[in-house]
Amino acid sequence: MTVSLTRPLVLDPHPGTDPCVHCDARQASVCNAIPDSEMARLSTTAVVMEAAPGTTFIDEGEPAASFFNITRGTAKLFKLLPDGRRQITGFVTVGHFLGLAVSDTYAFSAEAIDNVRYCRFSRARLRSLLDDFPLMEKRLLEVASNELVAAQEQMLLLGRKTARERLASFLAMQSRQGVICQHPRERFALPMTRGDIADYLGLTIETVSRTLTKLRAEGLIDIPSPTEVIIRSQAALERLADGAS
């Protein structure tokens, strides 16, 4: 396994064993479609890399030569308009698989919010792996389908929902990702800035901050720190996100 790092990193906490077997992200990733006995082959296919906060590791418009599997941290996906403005289209964390481009170039850019670790697979080498493991290919099709659903939800969020509904939807989505990452659903990290959240939701920073304060005053959430949220009433938050209250 080739490693490209910005600082020292211990990949194998179990000497003498395959690091992919003990990867923290395996259960949340498409890699869990490959049995333990074949993990060594997966290791030779992946290049493990780490991106420091603020580092762009996928560039929109560049040749789509690789796939990326996030194994640690959080990244934001964005597109640039011709005049230089940026629209954040999503946030990804452990288990997300990126780069399933339908064209020869990447349709978005990806930037690390905190320290992000990811496995990079070349298209050619991954194609060879998928030929031998059809279950992994099935999982990738599921990923593509989920991305389509997420895009549809984003259109609804931006086109029809109020600011309160947008923020409630965002927090509910982040709490569900917390479950995937094996953290308690009621308490989860929110590493992105208020500006990033505003960009993603199509709101101003002031509106995001004011709405968060109001949700906290109403007892729906608590904010112990700028990068953490506690949901006090999951049911009420979900109802708000669905426009029922």
Closest CA to 39 of 110, 96, 119, 139: 119
Mapped onto helix, strand or coil, the DSSP state of residue 139 is: helix
DSSP tag of 27: G
pLDDT digits (tens, 9 = 90+) for 36-53: 777 777 777 888 899 999
The larger pLDDT score, comparing residue 92 to residue 179, is at 92
DSSP tag of 182: T
Confidence tier at 102 by pLDDT (50, 70, 90): low
pLDDT digits (tens, 9 = 90+) for 191-220: 999 999 999 998 999 999 999 999 999 999
Per-residue pLDDT, 18 = 59
Spell 25-51 as b/e; 16+ CB within 10 A means b.
Answer: bbebbbbeebeeeebeebbebbebbbb
Q: Which domains does the chain have, with CATH numbers?
A: 2-136 (2.60.120.10), 161-241 (1.10.10.10)
Per-residue pLDDT, 45 = 80
Q: Which two tokens stand for residue 25?
A: 């992200």
Confidence tier at 131 by pLDDT (50, 70, 90): confident
CB 212 within 8 A of CB 224: no
